Amino acid sequence: MFLSLVLVRINRSKASPILAIANRWLRWAVFATGAAFIWWNFELTTHPYWLLVLLFALVWFLCETLYNWMAVKALSESPLPLFPKYTLTESGEEWPVQPRFQKVRYEIRQLGYTHTQSVRAQIVEGISVRVSVYHDARAERRLQITFLPRPNSAVMMCASISSQTPDGHRYVTDNVFLPYAGFYPENWLVDRTPWTRSLTKLLARHNARLARANETLAPWTTEPLADLNAQQRDLEQLNTQLGFLTQHAQREEHGKVTAAGRYRVWKEIWTLNYLGRSAKYL
């Protein structure tokens, strides 16, 4: 239990998905073994200790299942936008001043990427998602660094690398650690690897995908702001058509996400929280 509290304190500043996963497994184990020990020590049952551990592990699973389901339902019925609109950040790059972020910023320069545009999307008043966009020397790889606000003023950083081909295919390699669970257009080839936190390794993975496909790349000509907002519109329309989102006229009564969509999100929350694995996006 003490170790779990230490991990929580450390992760307030780091916002590391890896530490968060380790802490979730640790809390599950502490609850199951601790509750079983109390139950067994006070002789409240004649069942063996190992069986009590399994029982309380199941209790934890059921409680967290209920909590996650309620959270997904609350998000569906909340006014928070699922596909918010981006606007330009007039002040330019806005990187947090913490050393871990500055190391990544230096790494981007070393990889030969140059800053193209900075945008933001307001989620609620005073809370925004910020994105800094970079291009390689030939503008064939677009790198998006996204800063996501977390509780206790922590900031999580995610990276996404995109390339497009002359025939309209889009290759996306990212390490986003948030459930999406929706659908992508058929011409999008998405590889999501939340465990890959190194930007250099993520770029190597993206380049390896392109090499295996033997693709010819087309340079990015659309400015990032226009492309991001077009993506948001297309994704919302597609997910509404395919039944992940409810029709606009029904959202006030039934929420934004359908029952099938909520199940997909709930399932991906579990795999992300405990395995660091997102759904497979083909």
pLDDT tens-place string over residues 134-161: 999 999 999 999 998 776 666 789 999 9
Predicted confidence at residue 4, as pLDDT, reads 64
What pLDDT band is residue 98 in, cutting at 50, 70 and 90?
A: confident
Same domain, yes or no, for 48 and 100? Answer: no
Q: Do 114 and 218 sit in the same domain of this protein? A: yes
**CA quadruple 223, 216, 231, 177: dihedral positive or negative?**
negative
Judgement on whether residues 133 and 259 belong to the same structural domain of the protein: yes
* Measured distance CA(189)–CA(141) in Å, rounded: 14
Per-residue pLDDT, 8: 61
- pLDDT tens across 8-21, in order? 666 565 667 778 88
Indicate if 121 and 223 belong to the same structural domain.
yes
The amino acid occupying position 55 is: L
Q: Are residues 25 and 61 in the same domain?
A: yes
Same domain, yes or no: 155 and 239 = yes
Question: How much is the pLDDT for 213?
Answer: 93
Q: Cβ of 134: how many Cβ atoms within 10 Å? A: 22
Domain that holds residue 10: 2-77
User: For the residues 48-55, what does the mean pLDDT come to?
Assistant: 91
Q: What is the pTM of this model?
A: 0.87
Residue 58 lies in a domain: yes
> What average pLDDT does this structure show over 164-172?
95
Shared domain for 71 and 115, answered yes or no, is: no
Residue of 195, 163, 189 whose CA lies nearest to 176: 195
Which residue among 42, 77, 112 closes a domain? 77
Judge if 197 and 269 occupy the same domain. Answer: yes
Structure confidence at residue 123 (pLDDT) = 86
What is the structure's pLDDT at 125? 79
In a domain, 281, yes or no: no
**In this predicted model, which residue has the larger pLDDT, 122 or 133?**
133
Residues 192-247 pLDDT 10s: 998 888 999 999 999 999 999 998 999 999 999 999 999 999 999 999 999 999 99
Q: Is residue 230 part of a domain?
A: yes
Q: Is residue 282 assigned to a domain?
A: no
What pLDDT is attached to residue 15?
A: 60
- Residue-wise pLDDT tens digits, 73-82: 999 999 888 9
Is residue 82 domain-resident? Answer: no
89 — pLDDT class (breaks 50, 70, 90): confident
The residues, ordered by sequence, that sit 6+ positions from 253 with a Cβ below 8 Å of its Cβ are none
220 is a domain residue: yes
Q: How far apart are CA 71 and CA 272, in angstroms?
A: 15
Q: How many domains does the chain have?
A: 2
183, 129: one domain: yes
Using a pLDDT cut of 90, give the percent of the chain over it.
Answer: 61
| Residues 61, 95 within the same domain | no
Residue 280: inside a domain: no
Between 230 and 275, whose confidence is greater? 230
Question: Where is pLDDT greater, at 90 or 261?
Answer: 261
Last residue of a domain, one of 43, 77, 111: 77
Reply yes or no on whether the pLDDT at 43 is more than 90: no
